[in-house]
Structure 1
Amino acid sequence: MPIRLDKVPAPALRPARPRFWLWFILLLLCSLLSVGGTLLLGDEPLRQKPVDFWSLALGLPILGWCVVGFGRVLFHIGEQSAADGWDEAREKALIRKIRQGRRSQQVLGVSLHTALLDSADEPTAQLDALLSGTEALKTQPSRMDDAPVSHSRFVEGSGEDLEAVLTSVLEKRLADLAPILAQLPDDKPLALLLEIDCRLPEDQWRLVWRKIWQESGIRQSTVSVEGSGLAALDQWLDQRIGDQALLLVLAVQLAPEQPEGTAEVAVGVLFGNRLTQTTLAPIAYLHRPEQERQPTDADLLYATRQALDWVPLEAKSIEKTWRVGIDPQRHAGIATVLAKEPLLGKQAPCNLDALLGHPGKASPWLAIAAATQTIERGAGAQLIFSGGGPATAGLWGTVLMPVSALSK
């Protein structure tokens, strides 16, 4: 669940100290009233005995004043102790929330396939094309209709059926990650988050997936993870940060029902828990993603600043900014955040939607994979703005840090 530091109760209100001048005036007033009352009500023999007179006239108000004053001091001490206890408990809760919020995941491996990937190119050509702003989004026939629409699609498999294309892209994602998994024990648990948006019926593509996994040669067994997108990762950081399992994410968008303005992408990302995974060297650290509570510019700015604070990290340390899966009506919100945080990134944001089209459910994983590959080349911290859910869902801010940056 989201860690909201702004929901931590405020410090206790400190009680005001007893005011000496007020109590001195009260003592004088009580003394005057007591002397006057003794003079008016006391008999003649009492007035002829000065010691008894003044003992009665001043002794009683002074004694009463001391008793009431002592009670006031005890009450003040009690209020101070209650405030100290509240502030101590608040400080512990705040530290606990900050520690929980600053949890992160190791990124152990990524595999990325977009329309910019050509099997004949060098492995780095796809990332080069993304970083240079090469557009794959163009008007072309979709897989299911000859009518041209603006979208991007995989270069390979254009003449194959959907099941064959899905099999091909998933096999290659697993083939990229298999050498990493081969370094782990056979009994190392794997949690699988499978996000596939395809025109094929779910029961059909799940059969395809099971066959691919059985034939992949990967020895570890998998257990499915509930949830989707960065919300599932956020939940993992809350509930399974001490788990021995690795988290394997496979996300595919292939031939969506409404292809206009979309992108075909396939992504694989392997995460490890920093507390338990010591076999593999991480490529980067993915810090807790932060989602805006409402789709407003103010909430997006808060989420961005909080995502940066989880590192902790100054905005000027962000070397590159990515945006993906963001509906056009939220473009102004991103611009507002960047205007209020002018040190975010040393270049214009890489707009993956403009280059490839909307990647749907695969949006955050696409940006994470591309940013990780950028870090592998020696780049610094990366900030990602991502959507991918319904238009009413809040955007996410996520920071990836190079391993070297956190080891300093």
Structure 2
Amino acid sequence: MPVDLSSLPPKAKRYSLPSIKIWVKFFVFLLCIINVINYFIFPFLNIKKVSILQISFLTFVVWGGLCFFRYLFYILHQSIADGWDKKREEDRDNMIIIGQRYITLLSQAMILPYLESCKDLSTQIVVSKLSLLPSYQLGNNIIHCSQFSDVKENNIDRIINRLNKLLIESSLISKIHQLSDDVKLDIIISSNCSYLSDDEKLEIDAILSQRIERVYHVIYTEEIEIDLIDNWLDNPKLFDFLLLINIYSFDVPVNLHSEVATAQLFSFSNDSPIKGMAKIHRPELVEDKNSFDLFNEKIETVAIWSNIGKNKLKDIWLTMLQDNHEDEIKIKISSSDISSHTRLYNINSSIGYTHNASTWVNIYISATQLIKDKSPQLLIDKKTILIVNS
């Protein structure tokens, strides 16, 4: 991720204070060497011996000079090291200030085929130990899968149906209507449908115009990556307000998968006068899930970004793509110092895989749990970790 505390250079190497004991031993050694030269070497070379008092004084002067320059070197090195470490701490503090930026979730909506309302979904996941997915017979197999009732319609009609249902959520639409005409509203629509024609985009645009009733700019993509948050945090002027719409659908039933649609309205930090429901803090990328030390380091980092202690994390929400990744994360969490006070919930096991929408489904569920539980929520999705806080 762009703000990387591990990129800071190491602290300056420091030398220990010169040891008086060692320097006294050096003085005695030096005195002995000079006396040996004076009493044994000088007579052999027909050089007049020097008195003990003169030898002692000469030795002390030499020793004192060496001692002075050694201590002066120590003082200069400490001064340079102090300057290096001070600049390093200033850079670290500046990185943390940037790292602790966040985006505000103003409102959201989510629909699943088998639920009348998703507002209490986090509670259902916490209470239920079984999958919430309905099961039915498909050939000789029993599968757990959920699709909307319009499964036989074409893709564009299904997308429009999802938009119509999402954009009648009163809290979401009211927040959109509270936006000033002076601000810019960007909309990003993610659908796993491979391609939308210009005519289909015009149909979608007509629905958006009818529901939103204001000027906006819309972008279409197959998946909205979590690094969008990172990019926005590093470039606050990227968006004024951002509405993310994620739709996942499929034609043929897929075991342990569920269709879903989400809509979430965001602003940058607390710049908006509109009251938000949650703060989405900077995510951290965890590429190597086999590294226990790296995983713990990333937990530490997201705790810094959210400015909370790790002991305040109570709920961890997983939406991984592969079961073996989930098992690895569970092992690391159970071995970490946050395991004693956290509860782990596997969203995929409860509501099914949601593909391109999984990150935003996780944010929806954790944000609703945050409102109920009033404690920070830790999200682990694919290759990223982030914290949702109030």
Report if aligned partners of 2:232, 2:239 keep a CA contact under 8 Å in 1.
no
Distance across 2 between alignment mates of 1:137 and 1:301: 36
Q: Secondary structure at the match of 1:105?
A: strand
Tell me which residue corresponds to 1:112: 110
Distance across 2 between alignment mates of 1:221 and 1:296: 43
Report if aligned partners of 2:112, 2:118 keep a CA contact under 8 Å in 1.
no
Moved more, 291-300 or 74-83: 291-300
Distance across 2 between alignment mates of 1:45 and 1:344: 83
Residue 161 (1) aligns with residue 158 (2): no
Tell me which residue corresponds to 1:237: 233
- Specify whether residues 117 and 58 from structure 1 end up closer, same or farther in structure 2 by C-alpha distance, changes over 3 A only: same
Distance across 2 between alignment mates of 1:60 and 1:273: 73
Report if aligned partners of 2:42, 2:48 keep a CA contact under 8 Å in 1.
no
Tell me which residue corresponds to 2:389: 401
Out of 250, 262, 285, the residue aligned to residue 291 of structure 1 is: 285
Q: How does 1:34-49 map to 2 (within 5 A)?
A: 34-35=34-35, 37-38=37-38, 41=42
Out of 258, 261, 283, the residue aligned to residue 266 of structure 1 is: 261
Q: How does 1:8-407 map to 2 (within 5 A)?
A: 8-35=8-35, 37-38=37-38, 41=42, 57-118=55-116, 124=119, 130=125, 132-133=127-128, 135-139=132-136, 150-155=144-149, 157-176=150-169, 177-198=172-193, 201=196, 206-222=201-217, 224=219, 228-240=224-236, 245-255=240-250, 259-277=254-272, 279-296=273-290, 298=292, 299-340=294-335, 341-345=338-342, 349-377=344-372, 379-387=374-382, 394=383, 396-402=384-390
Report if aligned partners of 2:106, 2:277 keep a CA contact under 8 Å in 1.
yes
Q: Under a length normalisation based on structure 1, what TM-score does the superposition of the two structures give?
A: 0.78
- Specify whether residues 154 and 71 from structure 1 end up closer, same or farther in structure 2 by C-alpha distance, changes over 3 A only: same
Q: Deviations over 1:110-145 (max 9, x none)?
A: 010112334xxx67466665555462343477xxxx
Shift of 1:103: 2.4
Residue 135 of structure 1 aligns with an amino acid whose one-letter code is L
Identity across matched positions, percent: 20
Q: Under a length normalisation based on structure 2, what TM-score does the superposition of the two structures give?
A: 0.82
Tell me which residue corresponds to 1:390: none
Distance across 2 between alignment mates of 1:45 and 1:327: 88
Q: Secondary structure at the match of 1:296?
A: coil
Report if aligned partners of 2:151, 2:251 keep a CA contact under 8 Å in 1.
no
Tell me which residue corresponds to 1:391: none
Shift of 1:63: 3.1
- Specify whether residues 168 and 83 from structure 1 end up closer, same or farther in structure 2 by C-alpha distance, changes over 3 A only: same
Residue 10 of structure 2 aligns with an amino acid whose one-letter code is A
Residue 69 of structure 1 aligns with an amino acid whose one-letter code is C
Gaps of 5+ in 1: 142-146, 388-393, 403-408
Q: Secondary structure at the match of 1:194?
A: strand
Gaps of 5+ in 2: none
Shift of 1:75: 1.0
Report if aligned partners of 1:104, 1:288 keep a CA contact under 8 Å in 2.
yes
- Specify whether residues 31 and 297 from structure 1 end up closer, same or farther in structure 2 by C-alpha distance, changes over 3 A only: closer
Shift of 1:59: 4.5
C-alpha root-mean-square deviation of aligned residues, in Å? 3.5
Q: Secondary structure at the match of 1:310?
A: helix
Shift of 1:400: 1.6
Distance across 1 between alignment mates of 2:310 and 2:61: 64
Shift of 1:200: 5.0
Equivalences, count: 379
Distance across 2 between alignment mates of 1:139 and 1:205: 33
Report if aligned partners of 1:107, 1:286 keep a CA contact under 8 Å in 2.
yes
Q: Secondary structure at the match of 1:269?
A: strand
